[in-house]
Amino acid sequence: MSEATAISVEGLTRRYGDREALSDVSFSLETGGTLVVFGANGAGKTTLLRVLATLLRPHSGQVAVLGQQLPDQAWAARGQIGLVTHEPLLYRELTARQNLDFCARLHNLTTARVSDLLTATGLSDRADEPIARFSKGMMQRLAIARALIADPKLLLLDEPRANLDPGAGELLEPLIGRANGRSRVIVTHDIAYGLAEADTALGLIDGRMAFCEIASAINAAAVQELYR
């Protein structure tokens, strides 16, 4: 796997019991590029993200992330990956600042990084409130700040615009949008947004690849077929 390749997946299969959540999935992502994954609920999108995030082991196939073979070298890739899941998985009894401080300590980072991200995500005025009081949109902004705490090379984003109003979406664009320069894998049901962000589009149906093409070669009608 060259430095020009952020992700390489060949023949990935992942099962839950007898059910194949992913079956013979293959694709690659160039460094700095964006792969957008489409598919109906249960298609395997979240499972794919969890494998790439080193949270699930593949049952067969070859997976390399940021030059590291998974699962054997997962430890070397993990600190370079920022993950935003469908559920924010934050500590609700802690404040926003405490949530980020905890993550920063895991990466041996200073509190300056925490303050910068609270400002960048528009949360500095509420930073010392328990996040149990936060709206879903504020939770999403904090989850994105947490994913960025270690300045990752790769972002794995599951519905990153969920619960964000247009103003918040614009605020976060420099952090998780195309201009940030990081390699990205985005899972979304928003077809227009996904195609606008994608360099490559991957479509999944019941864990199998329906297509994997340069995004400019895929139209909205082809993506909509995944949801029928």
**What b/e string do you get for 34-65 counting C-beta neighbours within 10 Å, with b at 16 or more?**
bbbbbbeeebbbbbbbbbbbbebebeebebbb
Given a cut of 80, whether residue 162 has pLDDT beyond it is: yes
Confidence band, pLDDT 50/70/90 cuts, at residue 7: very high
68-109 confidence digits (pLDDT tens): 999 999 999 999 999 999 888 899 999 999 999 999 998 888
* pLDDT of res. 1: 55
Rounded CA gap, 213 and 228, in Å? Answer: 20
Cα dihedral 107/113/115/117 (nearest 10)? -90
**What predicted TM-score, i.e. pTM, was given to this entire model?**
0.95
Which domains, from first to last, does the chain contain? 1-80+183-228 (3.40.50.300)
Share of the chain above pLDDT 70, in %: 99
* pLDDT of res. 2: 59
